[in-house]
């Protein structure tokens, strides 16, 4: 079960988010794309078309160059590209995800467009969304340091494959939350080094994920419309007691 890893696309927010994305790209041997979206005054050129002041573009370029330089100090051999985009961050990220197969888009926890971006990525691209909210040092849960994935009786091979791969790259175990029958034998055969803990969900999926995600290394969820309806008001922001990926 060989997996192809596309680029890791990170919205330039905080240093924690940038470094998390860089570490993920390095672990995948993938390219890191740093995206800086900025607001710009609506200027018109001589032909009446919208344009961007060169000084604004230069300033934005300096911001991403500084970020890339910071990452290179930590990961000298990492492939890095940068993009500046005069406009909405969600649009910039969606454009980047459309250009590649299997991109992982990374944003900081708390962004207002988390849920809508997850839906648009799931419907229009092959990309996944990672929402990075680092847990407080004192927090702990039943799957502390492990990767957590929630699956039901439907085909969740993308989520399972992502979760098994993430657990192996991190050298940690995998907790599988099941709301229905799920055959993971093939994945366990492909990843024999991953310690698997299976747990049947008796209450709501949202409550189970919320409990297990505390201090987890990563929580992996499916991003289709069925999942979004099942979780109801348990949004990505509520679940992000650590990094969360919507596959």
What's the pLDDT at 86? Answer: 84
With respect to residue 2, please indicate whether it lies within any of the assigned structural domains.
no
The CA distance from 235 to 217, in Å, is 19
The CA distance from 220 to 2, in Å, is 19
What's the pLDDT at 7? Answer: 95
Question: Per residue in 70-88, pLDDT tens?
Answer: 999 999 999 999 999 888 8
Question: Per residue in 176-211, pLDDT tens?
Answer: 998 877 788 899 999 999 999 998 888 777 788 888
pLDDT above 90: residue 48: no
Average of per-residue pLDDT across 230-243? 54
Boundary residue ending a domain (67, 97, 132): 132
Query: Residue holding tokens 């209450």?
Result: 203
Whichever domain contains 154, its CATH number is 3.40.50.620
The CA distance from 105 to 109, in Å, is 13
Q: Write down the pTM of the prediction.
A: 0.80
Are the C-beta atoms of residues 130 and 243 closer than 8 Å to each other? yes
The CA distance from 240 to 77, in Å, is 30
- Which residues does 119 contact at the CB level (< 8 Å), separation at least 6? 223, 225, 228
110 plus 161 within the same structural domain = no
Q: Which two tokens stand for residue 145?
A: 């340091």
Chain CA centroid to CA 104, Å: 6
With respect to residue 235, please indicate whether it lies within any of the assigned structural domains.
yes
Are the C-beta atoms of residues 53 and 40 closer than 8 Å to each other? yes
pLDDT above 70: residue 143: yes
15 plus 123 within the same structural domain = yes
**Interaxial angle between packed helices 54-74 and 15-28, expressed in degrees from 0 to 180 and rounded to the nearest 10:** 60
Boundary residue ending a domain (81, 108, 132): 132
Q: Which domain holds residue 28?
A: 8-132
């Amino acid at each position: 079960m060989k997996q192809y890893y596309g680029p890791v696309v990170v919205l330039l927010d905080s240093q924690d988010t940038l470094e998390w994305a860089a570490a993920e790209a390095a672990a995948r041997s993938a390219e890191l794309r740093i995206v800086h979206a900025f607001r710009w005054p609506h200027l018109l050129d001589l032909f009446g078309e919208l344009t961007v002041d060169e000084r604004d573009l230069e300033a934005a370029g300096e911001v991403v160059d500084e970020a890339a330089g910071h990452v290179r100090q930590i990961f000298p051999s990492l492939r890095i590209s940068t993009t500046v985009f005069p406009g909405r961050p969600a649009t910039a990220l969606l454009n980047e995800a459309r250009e590649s197969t299997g991109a992982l888009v990374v944003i900081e926890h708390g962004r207002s467009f988390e849920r809508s971006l997850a839906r648009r990525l799931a419907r229009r691209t092959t990309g996944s969304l990672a929402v990075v909210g680092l847990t407080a040092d004192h927090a702990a849960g039943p799957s502390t340091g492990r990767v957590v994935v929630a699956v039901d009786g439907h085909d969740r091979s993308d989520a399972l494959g992502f979760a098994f791969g993430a657990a192996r790259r991190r050298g940690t175990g995998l907790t599988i939350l099941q709301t229905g029958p799920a055959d993971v034998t093939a994945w366990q055969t492909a990843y024999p080094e991953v310690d698997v803990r299976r747990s049947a969900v008796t209450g709501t999926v949202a409550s189970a994920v919320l409990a297990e995600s505390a201090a987890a290394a990563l929580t992996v969820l499916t991003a289709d419309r069925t999942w979004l309806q099942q979780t109801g008001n348990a949004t990505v922001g509520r679940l992000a007691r650590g990094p969360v990926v919507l596959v």
